[in-house]
Amino acid sequence: MSLSVRSVATTPFDGQKPGTSGLRKRVAVFQQEHYTENFVQAIFTAMPAPGPKNAVLVVGGDGRYFVKDAVQKIVRIGAANGIAKFIIGQNGILSTPAASAIVRKRQADGGIILTASHNPGGPKNDFGIKYNMRNGGPAPESVTDAIFAATRSISEYHMADIGNDIDLAALGTQKFDGFEVEIVDPVNDYVELLKDIFDFDLIRQFREKTPDFKLLFDALNGVTGPYGRRIFVDELGFSESSLEQCEPLEDFGGGHPDPNLTYAYKLVERVEKEAISFGAASDGDGDRNMVLSHDWFVTPSDSVALIAHYAAECIPYFKRSGVHGLARSMPTSCAIDRVAAAKGLEVFEVPTGWKFFGNLMDAGRLSICGEESFGTGSDHIREKDGIWAIVAWLNIIAHVNRSTPGASVRSIMQDFYSIYGRNYFTRYDYEEVESDGAARMVDRLRSFISETESDSGIVGKVFGGFTVAKVDDFEYTDPIDHSVSRRQGIRVIFDDSSRIIFRLSGTGSQGATVRIYIERFDPSSFDIDAQVALKPLVDAALEISQLEQFTGRKEPTVIT
């Protein structure tokens, strides 16, 4: 029998433009008749050559509400468009890093990942769909632009009539007319990959020799709970009490699955109260991470720089392959630049969005990279990877303790600062602000762009003791494909190299988010609280932007 396919007439929906991390909207938007189907059909219409016919597609998500429904739609539409095989995580579950790993290991033609990352889940919150390429990384702008164009011209989508829903719980292969579905354990391949990258034996030996070393991992009821249990308990031998909120829930337990000091408050409280040696959290889909101890918080900017410093010394993957280059997103602090300079490595400054690292990795020019937004990763896959970063830290702690017994997160960071100095860094997020006011604020800031003094600008003016040297809007030319990304963030750079950066973020589903990033380098003072060290620059940022006047906000939603 041949596959029965029907075509369904439809009309375009406004606003189906994928952002840096796919299309994110409220669940109710995706539940509109034809809405999800239109977008999924657009993915297959725009799928790069040779297209969907006879392709292998990886599908999975972070377990949030509507994932299972969306998987069923993707299979029907994909099969109708010629997909030959679907590799789906059991119960629709795949962390974003695991999906990337499976695409690469199985040499699939791409993947559809169902996640709104760190945004809240549940019937009244967010959902998302993103398309990944055959390298396992997010689709570049050329592809997301093609998907958007397809959503604007769509007149029908195609559905395979396969009868009952796919059984997402049953491991193994299910065959249908013209295609097959393989349900895979979502954890196995990923854990095997990490065991090849890191020195699990060294970490186990350290745990056995250091019984007072306490680990606490919080999955925030996101997708990484099963991954954390397999790695930290089953493989490395830490106790079950080392796990917090490790059951994936469709609404993340009513929480906000964003690993920062505000939303991961249960972890922060336990780490401080119980004097935990090493605390860590990941986000809804597993691509972000936070690292801290009872007496030290590691900024994401410092975390990636520290991993880069130690990588070739103690992480087997990099001991074998070497470190070929380092990179950071533009708002991320320049700590990793100092590591690159000391080690004679290329360093790249790219726009926010993990896809910008992919070209550099595929060209063999980038090994380790990170974003200040709690994203850290390497060229082992083409997504940022929260569990990878956490295990990297455990590998480094175990390594340092061989020569310096008792070395802690704090002492390891202090030693790092003694070599490189400290880049004090903070980020202020103002979430769900009124979009028009935020846009007017940014337009005013753009009017200051200049490298010379003028009556109307701010170059040469002094704010809080800091003299403005330059104002620009970050622009990036990809050194591999020469594509240009403009208007990536307004930078106010001072004569001592301190920076204030203003960005409007589009990853939320409601309103706009204003992000202000503040950085100052200190070569010799490492123990000042970051908020104290940066207060003059914070005040300068608020004065320069007139944020309260434009948005009505007196306080940020989140301080990192």
Catalytic positions: 117
Compute and round to an integer the Cα radius of gyration of the chain: 23
Cis peptide before 556 (omega within 30 of 0): no
CA distance 481 to 203: 40
**Contact assessment for residue 314 and residue 278, using Cβ atoms and an 8 Å cutoff:** no
On the 0-12 / 13-18 / 19+ scale of CB atoms within 10 A, 362 is middle
The amino acid occupying position 536 is: P
Which tokens sit at 230? 């397999």
DSSP 177: T
Vertex 111 angle, CA 95 and 19, to 5°: 85
Phi-psi region of 369 (alpha: psi -120 to 50; beta: other; left: phi over 0): beta
Phi-psi region of 103 (alpha: psi -120 to 50; beta: other; left: phi over 0): alpha
Residue 375: in which H helix or E strand, if any?
A: strand 375-378
Taking Cα atoms as reference points, which of 16, 22, 15 lies closest to residue 353? Answer: 22
Which tokens sit at 457? 């600008």
Q: Give Cα separations from 366 to 288, 361, 531 (angstroms).
A: 19, 5, 32
Residue 132: in which H helix or E strand, if any?
A: strand 126-132
Report the Cα 359 to chain-centroid distance in Å: 17
Residues 191, 241, 236, 227, Cα dihedral to 10°: 0
CA distance 262 to 285: 18
Residue 161: in which H helix or E strand, if any?
A: none
